[in-house]
Amino acid sequence: MSVVEYETREGIAYVKLNRPEKNNPLNRAVFDRLEDVWDDFCTDDDAHVAILYGAGDNFSTGFDLEEEIGALDEFNEEEIRRKNVDSSVGGLVRGKRILKPVIAAIEGWCLAGAFEAALACDLRVASETAKFGLYHVREGMPNADGGSVRLPLIAGLGNALELSLTGRHVTAERAKEMNIVNRVAPAGQALDYAERYADLILELPQEGVRAQKETIVETAAGGNLAHLLQYEGVLAYNGLVRETVVENAHAFVDGKIDDREQRLQSIDDVFAEM
């Protein structure tokens, strides 16, 4: 079984994160597979729109700390920075020039690096069950996979800071209010809604669609998106308090930090208690 499944049907490329038993976490095997997937999508003349989604009930809970904790121990800060600044999430977040539209179809949890990957997509459709959060700040890790660049562009500075500084999640409806989500679908129908968007795009001349995507994205980023994304990586990993991140990561994996209930509280839940 592939950790990422890829197939094309009627002009649409389906990219499925395929580890539902663990809520589709991201790891090096996923990143390596995605490198090939995005290359295939970019070069396939019969694929014009991609839909990124997760198998099962969740999009992805982000980086797999339990499985990758050893890698965190092995690399020093400079090695981590060097390995992550040039490419991220198989090139979707940074590293590849993907001119074709990519749509994220989100059910359930969409957390940390997976949330940042969804932000790298051009449209986001979320089911009413979806929840978005940048939980990694709780371990001392700042946004390093595009969140510091794309989230302010998409949601505005205030909303970006609210999510990034609290480490709390928001519901799909709140995410739509923040402009993070384009449409909210009934539970289980995020992929269906994403396909409707894809069909609308497929009706158009694809050369114009791709030129329009590049024009809008580059203009919004001041014509320097690739540089900004690399700069984010440099700042995040150079500013990383390595001992704190490693210590907290081990404590979380070993069960010494058990703030599960606190993690499940949304920002709205916290204020509702006041």
- The tens digit of pLDDT for each residue in 69-103 reads 556 656 555 656 555 666 778 788 888 889 999 99
- Which residues fall within 8 angstroms of residue 61, CB to CB, at 6 or more apart? 22, 23, 24, 25, 109, 111, 112, 114
Does residue 134 have a pLDDT over 60?
yes
pLDDT, mean over the chain: 86
Query: Which CATH number is correct for 4-272, 3.40.930.10, 3.40.50.300, 3.10.180.10, 3.90.226.10?
Result: 3.90.226.10
Residue 100 has what pLDDT? 97
Nearest-5° angle of CA 17, CA 41, CA 110? Answer: 30
User: Which of 107, 197, 109, 118 minimizes the C-alpha distance to 151?
Assistant: 118
Q: What average pLDDT does the segment 109-134 reach?
A: 96
Q: Is the separation of the CB atoms in 149 and 92 below 8 Å?
A: no
Structure confidence at residue 210 as a pLDDT band (50, 70, 90)? very high
Residue 213 burial (CB count, 10 A): 17
Name the residue type at position 246.
V
Residue 142 has what pLDDT? 81
Q: Is the separation of the CB atoms in 14 and 26 below 8 Å?
A: no
Q: Is the separation of the CB atoms in 33 and 73 below 8 Å?
A: no
- Domain boundaries, given as residue ranges, for the chain: 4-272
Residue 53 has what pLDDT? 98
| Dist CA 163 CA 234 (whole Å) | 21
Residue 216 has what pLDDT? 93
Structure confidence at residue 228 as a pLDDT band (50, 70, 90)? confident
Residue 222 has what pLDDT? 85
Residue 176 has what pLDDT? 97
Higher confidence at residue 274 or residue 15? 15
Q: What average pLDDT does the segment 32-47 reach?
A: 94
Residue 65 has what pLDDT? 67
